[in-house]
Amino acid sequence: MRKISRRRFLHTAIALGGGLALPRLYPAKAFAKEVWGANSAQAKRFLTASHWGMYNAVAQNGKLIKIEPFDKDPYPTSMLEGFPSQVYAATRVGHPAVRKGFLEKGAGSDRSGRGREPFVRVSWDHALDLVANELKRVRKKYGNASIFSGTFDWQSAGMLHNAGAITRRLLGMYGGFTDNVGDYSVGCAMVLLPYVLGGEEVYSEQTAWPTILDEAKTLVFWGCCPMKNCQIGTHPSDHYLYGAIEKLKAEKDIDIICVDPRFTDTAKHLGAKWIAPRPNTDTALMLGIAHEMIATNNYDKEFISKYTSGFDKFKEYVLGRTDQTPKTPEWASKITGLDGDTIKDLARRLKSERTMIMAGYAIQRADHGEQPYWMLITLASMIGHIGLPGGGIGFSYHYDNGGDLQANAPDLPGISAGPNPISNDMPAARTVSDMLLNPGKKFPFNGKTMSYPDIKLVYWAGGNPISHQQDINRMLEAWQRPETIIIQDPFWTASARAADIVLPATTGFERNDIEVCGTYSRQFMAAMPQVIKPVLESRNDYDICAAIAKRLGVEEKFTEGKKDQMEWLHSFYAVAERNAKAMKVTMPPFDEFWKRGYAEFPIPKSSKKFVTFSAFRVDPATNALGTASGRIEIFSESIAAMKLPDCFGHPTWIEPVEWLGSSKAARFPLALVSPHPPHRLHSQLDNSELRKTYEVAGREPIWINPTDAKARGIRDGDVVRIFNDRGQVLGGAVVTERVSRSVVCMHPGAWYDPAEPGKVGSLDKHGLVNMVTLDKPASELSQGNVANTALVQIEKYKGAAPPVTIFQPPQMIEM
Amino acid sequence: MESRLKVPYFMQFLAISCFALATPLRAEVVGNKTFAYPSESTTLYSSATGSGAFGVLSPGTSLQVTGATSNGRLPVKIEGWSMANEPSMIFLAAGKRILELRLSASASPSQPRKGKTVVLYGVTWKPVSYAGWVNSSATVPKIDAVWKAASDLYQKRCSACHGLHRPKEFTANQWPSVLSIMTHNAALTPEQAALVTQYLQRHAKGQ
């Protein structure tokens, strides 16, 4: 296996004092020269793409040996370097495998053996027959609703081998299955924002960066680190953000403020002013600002009256007329830990000149996570810059390069899941624990009462729920409930290890596919040609599901009579060609596109001037928002009418279930935040050589403030134990001023490595932060997850730290 | 739901007797009225001939057929609601922005229709109607076929990236914004997006 460039990574490690890797902004040439050296003339290059962008995969003698940047990507991510070692990792699932107990006893097996028992290698036919027979058995005995597939599938990019769509397609055609709705990223926002702004906003194009560079005077990153997250995208990232950031850095007359318990990579790179409220108190901070604006008569009354609805009711609350508690800066100071003057200054600063607020998803991944988003929109309305160039508010600058410039490009479809006759969709974050544990339980969701189905079979492809779910110990208990668990994945993830049947899937390098590069720009269409043969016995997601479809009698419907992958890709491309023709856009014939590896589309000048909500601002009657009133709803009659205990008619400070101000902080005095990792995609790539560049003492890093570290005798580089009543996990201490006092920061996705496999409550030796996070709905409105609401304690790990063993495959036996 | 204008009995009789024989194939009879539905966004012409237009009708809008086909065009009437401060758009119901007809700048104003005005969130909604001509070939006699095509397209294109959002998940007002940000991912042409939007809005949740 190829060794990672030591020199380069050493450079990073020194810069960060052994801490977390920064997304690096190396121009393509420097990247290629520094990392890859000179001669690779014998090798064959394939231009391809995945969530990390477009790049060249280099193969020699049938092996993927390295990745080189695409010359049209000026800011390739260093994560690309992890791919070769990931593809050939020891944790690759080489062959179909069945848990020993399941192979012996089937659905009647001892399910506590999941994650503990060895696996038995079986033939593909045996594995596929088993899967088909289990689906038939469960459907016949319990009905289609007892089959669950909640796959989010970040595993694969590509319009065809989209494991989530393909498994849904298969199960939908077989009579349906219980699906989920929403996701773990924007659980609160997705439900709330349609009531407040009329649409979802979190996944939509943002006001273009050039207007910000031209017009903004104040730019606030509120729990938002675009430089970290834009390395990857839903569709391949075009890394537009990094060019914009460099221009922003050169702009001397834009004040940049970072509101965050971390001094983020973006804030550090830009030299931003850092304001660090206690985690989960953002709503209180903004209420203090709103009170100051009202008290000083310094807010945009015209905007409020023309474009919003219900401000008066909110104002009564802010002034304390409804609850005898005026939300003064002093009141906010006690909750947030910031001093009152900072809050007053912020009120003046935000209102004085053109202000853009960029919000990340983190603040709504918290208890009552609807409130900070609703309050930010209210605050932006009081500032009054929504719909103006370079001003207002945006919720996707950290995601998919929001603010990117939209090309004049035809749209490209992908394979569809199609209809699912079972329509009882479950809110995403409640499925893998709460639903499995509580069949029949009734619960409120977005104004309705729903009830959990009794799940007997789980089929999950291209995802790793025993990583992204909060409170893993609760989940491990829940995971023992279904009779059958099927996982389809290229790697021995924690979820695969705790499955009954494991189907080895190919990676993107082993199959043909097609993508759009730049979710919002759509500047490129990218070919994703097969670079190497499938590793060991792995098969393509599409082919696996087609083989199961055949056994279930729905093959013809599933394949639509198409004979292979390329026929599908041709059909997607043909739709794009039709779209291009209607738009009068030139597009190369498929063969030319495939040979060249990409098609590029022009960016019209008008894209630079794109401003969200501008049409609404110009004419709010004709271009009314999708809310009940057609305006921004600071008060929502619809939500108020639900009479919920934890989400009222207007943004409200509601104390989180646990936070630094609660009595629980006496036992667990540190607030834990777990934002998206900078050095991998969720749990993807943790099993690559990249791991060695960011781990501390062989564990997932955890940031801790020097004062907190000193009080516990913890030094930089120590192995520490992070724990609370929910679980315990080891990490590697990074002692840094970049996280505020009484706060620790650990990124999710480190592979779960239990000291006692299969045991609920085991110590995780390696660093999956979700061992200690909380599994609770954010509110009865959204049922969103609360990943950033958690209190923990930390201690220096005593004795010799146990070796990490999760990067070896599980035990395989012959039977 | 859509409230239809009560037409005096003698006029209904007159209308029926006048074009009973001429009732086009592309229309359906509901009670004593005859309806047709645009299968896609369709021009509302100002007369049976020529290119003079009043505006654009949304797919699926109920068009009450008021006479016999002439030159391949049907005389039709649309009933709906418009906002006092924005009369150029006619919606299906007060406060529910399911667009039936968008009038061009030069079009004559809509006719008031019997019924009370409604004030919602400070906006006055008036019952109105509008008459004009549509190309018969752009309409279908049954709305079900329009919604079936829209539903199939929606299920096919909007389930590629995530679990399908059911029509009842959002309100009629919310759906256009919710869908519009996803039309690129779903590779929907503007025409397809207009159709799917109408389908979702007309099958949305109440509040």
**Residue A28 pLDDT grade (very low, low, confident, very high; cuts 50, 70, 90):** very low
In whole angstroms, what is the distance from residue A615 CA to residue A611 CA?
Answer: 9
Amino acid at A271: G
Q: Is residue A334 part of a domain?
A: yes
Are the beta carbons of A721 and A769 closer than 8 angstroms? no
Amino acid at A730: L
Based on the fold, state whether residues A197 and A63 are members of the same structural domain.
no
Q: Is residue B191 part of a domain?
A: yes
Give pLDDT tens digits for A356-376.
999 999 999 999 999 999 999
Give the containing element (helix H, strand E) for B44. strand B42-45
Based on the fold, state whether residues B47 and B127 are members of the same structural domain.
yes
Give the containing element (helix H, strand E) for A501. strand A501-504
Query: Which of A63, A87, A111 is the C-terminal boundary of a domain?
Result: A87
The side-by-side arrangement of strands in the sheet containing A53-60 is A44-50, A53-60, A63-69
Q: Which of A775, A746, A734 is nearest to A673 (CA)?
A: A746
Question: In terms of pLDDT, which residue wins out, A94 or B161?
Answer: A94
Predicted local distance difference test score (pLDDT) of residue A150: 85
**DSSP letter for each residue of A761-772:** TPPBSS--GGGT
Are the beta carbons of B204 and B1 closer than 8 angstroms? no
CA A470: distance to chain centroid?
14
Are the beta carbons of A516 and A235 closer than 8 angstroms? yes
CA distance B121 to chain A (A): 6
Structure token pair of residue A615: 């049409």
Give pLDDT tens digits for A210-245.
999 999 999 999 999 999 999 999 999 999 999 999
Based on the fold, state whether residues B129 and B170 are members of the same structural domain.
no
Helices (runs of H) and strands (runs of E) counted in chain B: 4, 12
Q: Is residue B172 part of a domain?
A: yes
Residue A676: is its pLDDT beyond 60?
Answer: yes
CA distance B38 to chain A (A): 21
Query: Which of A34, A52, A87 is the C-terminal boundary of a domain?
Result: A87
Cα dihedral sign, A438-A439-A441-A443: positive
Q: Which of A560, A544, A524 is nearest to A156 (CA)?
A: A544
In whole angstroms, what is the distance from residue A246 CA to residue A227 CA?
Answer: 11
Centre a 10 Å sphere on the Cβ of residue B135 and count the other Cβ atoms it contains: 15
How many CA atoms lie within 13 Å of A246's alpha carbon, on the beta-carbon side?
A: 10
Query: What ipTM score was computed for the predicted complex, to two decimals?
Result: 0.85
In whole angstroms, what is the distance from residue A85 CA to residue A83 CA?
Answer: 6
Task: Count the residues in chain A.
Answer: 815
Structure token pair of residue A647: 């989400």
CA distance A29 to chain B (A): 32
Are the beta carbons of A130 and A108 closer than 8 angstroms? no
CATH number at residue A272: 3.40.228.10
Query: Which of B111, B140, B169 is the C-terminal boundary of a domain?
Result: B140
Structure token pair of residue B138: 């752009």
Q: Do A416 and B160 touch (CB under 8 A)?
A: yes
In whole angstroms, what is the distance from residue A318 CA to residue A268 CA?
Answer: 34
Based on the fold, state whether residues B53 and B131 are members of the same structural domain.
yes
In whole angstroms, what is the distance from residue A286 CA to residue A378 CA?
Answer: 9
Structure token pair of residue B195: 């159709």
Share of chain A above pLDDT 70, in %: 95
* Distant-in-sequence, close-in-space partners of A67: CB < 8 Å, separation ≥ 6: A55, A56, A57, A58, A80, A81, A83, A84
**DSSP letter for each residue of A612-642:** TTHHHHH-TTTT--SSSSSSEESS-HHHHHT
Q: Which of A145, A12, A184 is nearest to A81 (CA)?
A: A12
Are the beta carbons of A651 and A659 closer than 8 angstroms? no
Based on the fold, state whether residues B177 and B115 are members of the same structural domain.
no
Predicted local distance difference test score (pLDDT) of residue B25: 56
Based on the fold, state whether residues B108 and B52 are members of the same structural domain.
yes
The side-by-side arrangement of strands in the sheet containing A392-394 is A273-275, A255-259, A218-222, A355-359, A392-394
Q: How many domains does chain A have?
A: 4
Based on the fold, state whether residues A400 and A426 are members of the same structural domain.
no
In whole angstroms, what is the distance from residue A404 CA to residue A240 CA?
Answer: 6
* Distant-in-sequence, close-in-space partners of B31: CB < 8 Å, separation ≥ 6: none
Based on the fold, state whether residues B17 and B95 are members of the same structural domain.
yes
Chain B residue numbers touching A576 (CB-CB < 8 A): 187
Chain A residue numbers touching B176 (CB-CB < 8 A): 626
Structure token pair of residue B142: 């049954």
Based on the fold, state whether residues A450 and A558 are members of the same structural domain.
yes
> From B170, which residue of chain A is nearest by alpha-carbon distance?
A194
**Residue A19 pLDDT grade (very low, low, confident, very high; cuts 50, 70, 90):** very low
| B86 close contact with A: CB closer than 8 A | yes
Torsion of CA A92, B162, A425, B202, to 10 degrees: -170
Query: Which of A87, A107, A128 is the C-terminal boundary of a domain?
Result: A87
Q: Which of B156, B174, B187 sits opposite A626 (nearest CB)?
A: B174
Chain B residue numbers touching A412 (CB-CB < 8 A): 187
Residue A581: is its pLDDT beyond 50?
Answer: yes
Based on the fold, state whether residues A234 and A271 are members of the same structural domain.
yes
Are the beta carbons of A169 and B160 closer than 8 angstroms? no
Residue A1: is its pLDDT beyond 60?
Answer: no
CATH number at residue B160: 1.10.760
CA A318: distance to chain centroid?
33
Amino acid at A85: S
Amino acid at A720: V
Based on the fold, state whether residues A316 and A398 are members of the same structural domain.
yes
Low-confidence winner among A39-43, A238-242, A260-264 (lowest mean pLDDT): A39-43
Predicted local distance difference test score (pLDDT) of residue A27: 34
Based on the fold, state whether residues A145 and A66 are members of the same structural domain.
no
**Which residue's entry shows tokens 């690559």?**
A688
Residue A689: is its pLDDT beyond 50?
Answer: yes
CA distance B152 to chain A (A): 8
Based on the fold, state whether residues B71 and B157 are members of the same structural domain.
no
Amino acid at A693: T
Are the beta carbons of A575 and B187 closer than 8 angstroms? yes
**Residue A18 pLDDT grade (very low, low, confident, very high; cuts 50, 70, 90):** very low
Are the beta carbons of A812 and A98 closer than 8 angstroms? no
Based on the fold, state whether residues A191 and A275 are members of the same structural domain.
yes
Are the beta carbons of A160 and A538 closer than 8 angstroms? no
Q: Which of A494, A464, A483 is nearest to A111 (CA)?
A: A483
Structure token pair of residue A91: 């944790």
Selected residues 109-128 of chain B with any CB under 8 Å from a CB in chain A: 120-121, 123
Question: In terms of pLDDT, which residue wins out, A129 or A201?
Answer: A129
Report the predicted TM-score, pTM, of the whole model to 2 decimal places: 0.93
Based on the fold, state whether residues A773 and A788 are members of the same structural domain.
yes
Average pLDDT, chain A: 94
Q: Which of A414, A624, A631 sits opposite B97 (nearest CB)?
A: A624
Residues in chain B with pLDDT values less than 70? 1-26, 207
Based on the fold, state whether residues B33 and B105 are members of the same structural domain.
yes
Task: Count the residues in chain B.
Answer: 207
In angstroms, the Cα distances linking A158 to A414, A517, A533, A541, B140 are: 8, 10, 18, 11, 38
Based on the fold, state whether residues A416 and A272 are members of the same structural domain.
no
Share of chain A above pLDDT 90, in %: 93
Are the beta carbons of A441 and A452 closer than 8 angstroms? yes
Q: Do A630 and B85 touch (CB under 8 A)?
A: no
Selected residues 7-66 of chain B with any CB under 8 Å from a CB in chain A: none
Predicted local distance difference test score (pLDDT) of residue A521: 97
CA distance A420 to chain B (A): 8
DSSP 8-state symbol, A406: P
> From A411, which residue of chain B is nearest by alpha-carbon distance?
B187
Domain boundaries, position B168: 143-202
In angstroms, the Cα distances linking A499 to A117, A259, A442, A536, A538 are: 10, 41, 28, 20, 17
Domain boundaries, position A699: 663-796
Based on the fold, state whether residues A625 and A711 are members of the same structural domain.
no
* Angle, CA A723 vertex, CA A432 and CA A466 arms, to 5°: 25
Based on the fold, state whether residues B98 and B170 are members of the same structural domain.
no
Q: How many domains does chain B have?
A: 2
Q: Which of A418, A419, A420 is nearest to A177 (CA)?
A: A420
Residue A175: is its pLDDT beyond 70?
Answer: yes
Q: Is residue B4 part of a domain?
A: no
Are the beta carbons of A775 and A434 closer than 8 angstroms? yes
Q: Is residue A658 part of a domain?
A: no
Chain B residue numbers touching A410 (CB-CB < 8 A): 187
CATH number at residue A787: 2.40.40.20
Q: Do A159 and B160 touch (CB under 8 A)?
A: yes
Predicted local distance difference test score (pLDDT) of residue B26: 66
In whole angstroms, what is the distance from residue A436 CA to residue A431 CA?
Answer: 7
Give pLDDT tens digits for A283-309.
999 999 999 999 999 999 999 999 999
- Give the gyration radius of chain A's Cα atoms: 26
Q: Which of A309, A417, A627 sits opposite B159 (nearest CB)?
A: A417
Predicted local distance difference test score (pLDDT) of residue A690: 96
Q: Is residue A578 part of a domain?
A: no
Q: Is residue B148 part of a domain?
A: yes
Cα dihedral sign, A676-A411-B202-A377: positive
Task: For an interface test with B, give the residue of A148, A181, A305 to mutate (most B CBs within 10 A).
Answer: A181
Q: Is residue B1 part of a domain?
A: no
Q: Do A418 and B177 touch (CB under 8 A)?
A: no
Q: Is residue B65 part of a domain?
A: yes
Predicted local distance difference test score (pLDDT) of residue B207: 65
Structure token pair of residue A687: 């099993």
In whole angstroms, what is the distance from residue A175 CA to residue A422 CA?
Answer: 8
Based on the fold, state whether residues A432 and A568 are members of the same structural domain.
yes
Centre a 10 Å sphere on the Cβ of residue A50 and count the other Cβ atoms it contains: 28
Residue A397: is its pLDDT beyond 70?
Answer: yes
Based on the fold, state whether residues B195 and B155 are members of the same structural domain.
yes
Predicted local distance difference test score (pLDDT) of residue B12: 43
**Residue A339 pLDDT grade (very low, low, confident, very high; cuts 50, 70, 90):** very high
Q: Do A309 and B121 touch (CB under 8 A)?
A: yes
**Residue A379 pLDDT grade (very low, low, confident, very high; cuts 50, 70, 90):** very high
Based on the fold, state whether residues B36 and B127 are members of the same structural domain.
yes
Q: Which of A330, A326, A352, A348 is nearest to A339 (CA)?
A: A330
Residue A39: is its pLDDT beyond 80?
Answer: no
Based on the fold, state whether residues B32 and B127 are members of the same structural domain.
yes
| B88 close contact with A: CB closer than 8 A | yes
**Which residue's entry shows tokens 């592979």?**
A751
In whole angstroms, what is the distance from residue A459 CA to residue A545 CA?
Answer: 11
In whole angstroms, what is the distance from residue A592 CA to residue A595 CA?
Answer: 5
Q: Is residue A807 part of a domain?
A: no
Cα dihedral sign, A630-A633-A639-A641: negative
CA distance A439 to chain B (A): 21
Chain B residue numbers touching A180 (CB-CB < 8 A): 163
Q: Is residue A805 part of a domain?
A: no
Query: Which of B140, B157, B187 is the C-terminal boundary of a domain?
Result: B140
Based on the fold, state whether residues A357 and A225 are members of the same structural domain.
yes
Task: For an interface test with B, give the residue of A153, A312, A573, A622 to mutate (most B CBs within 10 A).
Answer: A622
SS3 content of chain B, % helix, strand, coil (to 5): 25, 35, 40
Q: Is residue B28 part of a domain?
A: yes
Are the beta carbons of A790 and A670 closer than 8 angstroms? no
Are the beta carbons of A664 and A791 closer than 8 angstroms? yes
